[in-house]
Structure 1
Amino acid sequence: MESPERPGRRGRTAALIAGTAGLGVVAGLCTGYVVQAGRPPTRLPSLSQPAVPQGKGTVEPLSAADDRRVKTDGDLRKLLLKRPKGARATDFGSADGWMDLADYASAFKNPTGAFKDELKSEFRRAAQTTWQTGTYDVEIRLVQYHQVSAPGAAKHVEEQRYWAERDPDTGSSPIPGTGDGMVFVHRTPKAESGYLPVYSAEALASRGDIYMDIWITDTKPIPENEIMELAKRQVAQL
């Protein structure tokens, strides 16, 4: 065990070193002033600068196709992937495709905590689509944030990536064309008494003020290319 005096002696030595360094700074400044005083005055540049010519003509506004704000401020549901032919809607999807804050928060293990967190993150609105083909279920959610004081979409990706990476026996890959997008394939199924084991895969990404969340569940293992293909197509919609 260290002596109780050791931190005191270490602190006093640090103070002495700091004091010596301070003297060195003062001495250096004094020398600089003396040298500068012996030099002839340097002519300062003129304060008046040539005027920068103004551009002529008008700037054409972006077309609706090129202006992303036109697309993302419109009907958010139109940015969701279309349900494939032959697939059917599931019972856990909303009837009109919209999710209010209470509906969205209810999807979390702690709905009350999620509700409060989403309010702080400046939740604006959310849209959802779901479908089922055989034992294969898909759920896609787009969540939009006001982002007045914080980047809510990117923050949500960071939080959900943290939890996905904590799940054991999980593979992950980045989504091409995104800065933060990732897909996660959970190789160990969730098993409950009386039910078939369920495998899952998820994709997360943000684009501007929109957070994308995709889930696939099945009673058999899910190949990574299936969740990746969905993720790339959905990102392209944004």
Structure 2
Amino acid sequence: MATPVLDLGGRIEAACLGALAGEAAAGGAAGAADLLGVAESAAATGGFVEEDLRQRGLQRPSRSGTAGLLLRALPFGLLTPLDRPRLRRDSYRCVSLAGADEGTAVAAVAAAILIADLLRFDVGTTAVRVRQSLLEDAPAALLEHLAPRPGSDVSASSEPASVLQSAITALAGADSLDGVLAAASGGPAPALGLAGAFAGARFGRDAVTAIDVERLAHGDRAVQIARKLAERAESIAVGV
């Protein structure tokens, strides 16, 4: 029997706000718009629907660079965290629609699986589970990045696999959203957005209680989208 997700709605909301907090800390585009845009589409349609994504302009590259596409994969991990084949398929198709190369697309799938498992497990267990899931599909170079960097130092590289590893490293070295973002601060902007989303999924509602949603740029919109995504996720889980 699968380990249940406790307070899915709270964790989805925290992930969305965490990404925005990461973007605020980065001082520039860090992928939060990518996450929220796809989350809004997934909440409206129930998954990957190419026409809807195109209508929202999500066939275009990310303003955060190639690594920003990793955040477009996250809503599918939040939407169907217990349905591995579905979240893998939807996240892959979503970033491929935006022109991601194969390496970026597989890294995005890894990010979606990571956030899905962080809803239920600690970062160490999650990293092991994700590596096992991708053992036959991912290149060895990506598998090596699915673990914290030695010494807890994040990389300045903007290459998607390195950004993903920086977010994992930051999460492994802290136990609060602020701590995670501080740990990720040496990396590129998308690493902060990704780390913030991961922290929200892992730590849940408590991670974002100190955030002033009204003062956080796009905070109110993020909460609205998160709640709609949570409603859709819960309806899918019970087969409605």
Tell me the TM-score normalized by structure 2: 0.29
Structure with higher RCO (Cα < 8 A, 6+ apart): 2
Q: Which has the higher helix share?
A: 2
Q: Which has the higher strand share?
A: 1
Which of the pair has more CA radius of gyration? 1
